[in-house]
Structure 1
């Protein structure tokens, strides 16, 4: 009786706390647990500091991919397993994973669980949440298992069957969850022209980053005319960004002796351009030396990392749909249109205001991060800006600056990675909270632009 009373009291108190804050606390708890596991003596081949463990755990849970040490050399197979689990939980979402476990045990989720699940999946309502979770489970299992088996064709001949199987499974999990972690010291540079790697890895992070809502919509609605506005905008944005990023990378780096210039044939250069162009927005893998990029390419990458992937996905950034709506709103303003619309559907003012808020806060976080790191470090400005954008977009690409961070710098990047992953949840909650003004004021005139 006492236990039941305490449980009810705790449940009532939790309901008073905003779901995004609860989710943020759960993610923080998972990060601390991961750091503790990394500190176990059999998790690493050499001692690591608490700072190393906390940074790695944060990077894994936020599916970023930034690392302060060589993952393949420092972590044992147990440590790599812990890393893969943290990536999977961070990419899948804690509430999604909890619902899957409860469903497997035949236990009810409850209204509170559905509220937290709605926030974790960035949904506006609780309608068909269970169906979406089932879709997520099917997509994750199919993609990661299939990806691991196909990657065996490239990794097993080099590493042997069992080691190749583990490395294939690890990279499949890392790719689908858009984490960018690799057990190879130089990333995937050694497989830069491998056709299997260049097809499977991008396929995994593109599917994982496009969003489960889009995948469910495509699976249910065979005709593109029946797809939702969200799906159409997401697919349109992706169809534009991929050719843009691939083509721009090839154009800017074609003769760079540190990147594409080392390859002889145009086919090899295009293959590397394809991989590096599509991975930049969120995945964080590399098949070329990121530190050797031209400054113009670095600026291109920063913009792509800040855009990111799709909502309700394993990707980060402000999201493709946010970017597209922002462009549409800008075009509508210059055309003097009073209503924003796309594909025969209108986009409400509330959505436009949310886009403005998300973009403004994202730019502010990145600006503050760049300012503080520049003020406290002696590194090149471009390297610092690249690192901050990669952390906020939870991408994981680095120009080799991660290992040069001071303790303060690490703390800043940890905070930025965490905000990049769970910050939009909290922001979305407050944006969705309606308040009725008690006092109305007369309209004033402000001169803008």
Structure 2
């Protein structure tokens, strides 16, 4: 087994590892004990749910509270935690606890898994990730439990606090709020400052990336010492959250926000902007959003969070690199500069590849679903963007999907979590590129 594993490339290890986790989760969810009706769940439905949980998406074929028993919910929660942190991070942490030797191959795979720039200090970073996760999820769970105990007993409040804290930090979007109204999510807390702020803080902290954690904890308030990656992530995150909230407030003031207090409108707008960054919760009816708001949400979902985080999407750095590249070309600049640094040509090529790959997947998926599903195209585009961005927001068409449509979304969620580029590279194997340059011939562009 060790020899077989060593023959795999690091990208292949990541792709196969997530596939095995999804398969195991599917088998557990198929058990009668996992379903409230006591019947075995069909494999396609179990596969869809396990993929959605492992890929921290949040799309569901049935309301989580009403469909799954506590056993099933715990399976989903375990898949969310493993999928959010990455199985390699958890594996390395247990290896540290058991005092096992962590070789260069495992360190390299962990580096690829969490998308870190250098391999040095990767084991220390794994410790920080696990301890930081425990701290943030623990504080979030305690605050949410304190709020929930006003409506339920402390025992249930603690369980709800833990579940929703992990789901929010891992940007998963699964919730247990469907007891009275299925698929309600946090609509009952749209104007609750504590619940909104805690959930949003967990989503943002989980979505900015582990590298940013490490950089900020090392340099604290010395912003000038932050790495270029950290500066791009923090500035872009702030702009997308605030800008998205302002536009949602503008688009929805006479729609879903009508009749709310000023506090409710502000919190709902901020929550809608934050959750679209791959979290999947909602405090207003997503299906009732205006077309402008749906397009804005699709845009935010497609960008997603940041590299090496619990979030999906093409990532904030990809978006910024391409913006800087286009801006430099429009101004006839030789180099792409930002924050006093020049972007590497490799980063530009990778960003372009990620964007084109994801756009191709979205286009193909929309065409397939539009041919199968009798649904408005806007809702189909919304669903597809939610799947590949591992967001989990939906206008309500998920539960009406055919088996083929579910499989298409399963593939999109899987690619969104492991990374479309990682998945493509895993098919390449060990074959090396032949170092031969062919003659150049110009072509006309534009």
Contact residue 11 and residue 423 of structure 2 kept, 8 A: yes
Q: Hey, what does 2:189 align to over in structure 1?
A: 191
Match of 1:22, SS state, is helix
Is the Cα–Cα contact under 8 Å of residues 9 and 430 in structure 2 kept in the other structure? no
Q: Deviations over 1:301-320 (max 9, x none)?
A: 11100000010100000000
Are 2:200 and 1:209 aligned? no
Displacement after TM superposition at 1:409 (Å): 0.5
* Corresponding residue to 2:23 among 27, 32, 35: 32
Report the alpha carbon displacement of residue 346 of structure 1 after superposing the two structures with TM: 1.2
For 2:315 and 2:426, locate their aligned partners in 1 and report how far apart those are by CA, in whole Å. 17
C-alpha distance after superposition, 1:164-204 (max 9, x if no partner): 11011000000000000001121011111111111100000
Matched, 1:394 2:390: yes
Are the structure 2 counterparts of residues 334 and 29 from structure 1 closer, same or farther at C-alpha, using a change threshold of 3 Å? same
How far off its partner does 1:442 sit?
2.9
Change (3 A) 1:125 1:267: closer
Equivalence map 1:283-322=2 (5 Å): 283-322=279-318
Q: Aligned in 2, Cα 1:204/1:438: closer, same or farther, shift over 3 Å?
A: closer
Partner of 2:442: 445
Counterpart CA distance in 2 for 1:117 and 1:24 is 13
Query: Structure 2 regions of 5+ residues with no counterpart?
Result: 179-183
Paired with 2:425 and 2:210, the residues of 1 have a C-alpha distance of: 18
Give the equivalent residue in structure 1 for 2:181.
none
Alignment partners' CA distance in 1, 2:429 and 2:251: 42
Q: Aligned partners of 1:182, 1:404: CA distance in 2, in Å?
A: 20
SS of 2:342 mapped into structure 1: strand
2-structure distance, mates of 1:67, 1:272: 22
Q: How far apart are the structure 1 equivalents of 2:351 and 2:427? A: 14
Moved more, 114-123 or 413-422: 114-123
Q: CA deviation at 1:328?
A: 0.4
RMSD: 1.7
1:424 aligns with 2:421: yes
Checking the alignment, whether the CA contact within 8 Å between 1:119 and 1:425 is kept in structure 2 is: no
For 2:75, which of 60, 63, 82 is the aligned residue?
Answer: 82
1:47-70 deviation digits (Å, cap 9, x = unpaired):
332221111000000000000001
Corresponding residue number in structure 2 for 1:152: 145
* Aligned counterparts, 1:124-273, within 5 A: 124-185=117-178, 186-222=184-220, 223-256=222-255, 259-263=256-260, 265-273=261-269
CA contact 1:153–1:196 (8 Å) conserved in 2: no
Equivalences for residues 328-407 of structure 1 within 5 A: 328-407=324-403
Q: Mean alpha-carbon deviation: is it higher for 379-388 or for 131-140?
A: 131-140
CA distance in 2, matches of 1:429, 1:348: 24
1:432 shift after superposition: 12
Give how far 1:231 is off. Answer: 0.4
In structure 2, what is the equivalent of residue 7 of structure 1? none
State the TM-score, normalized to the length of structure 1.
0.94
For this pair of structures, how many residues does the alignment match? Answer: 437
State the distance in 2 between where 1:38 and 1:372 align: 28
Determine the C-alpha separation between the residues in 2 that align with 1:74 and 1:194.
27
CA distance in 1 between counterparts of 2:135 and 2:120 reads 25
Q: Distance in 2 between matches of 1:297 and 1:65?
A: 20
Whole-Å separation in 2 of the counterparts to 1:434 and 1:33: 31
Shift of residue 271, structure 1, vs aligned partner: 1.5
Q: Contact 1:209 / 1:315 at 8 angstroms: preserved in 2?
A: yes
Find the counterpart in structure 2 of residue 3 from structure 1: none
Match of 2:409 among 377, 389, 413: 413
Structure 2 match to 1:60: 53
- Contact 1:332/1:340, CA 8 A, preserved across alignment: yes
**C-alpha deviation, 1:126, in angstroms:** 1.5
2:34 aligns to what SS in structure 1?
coil
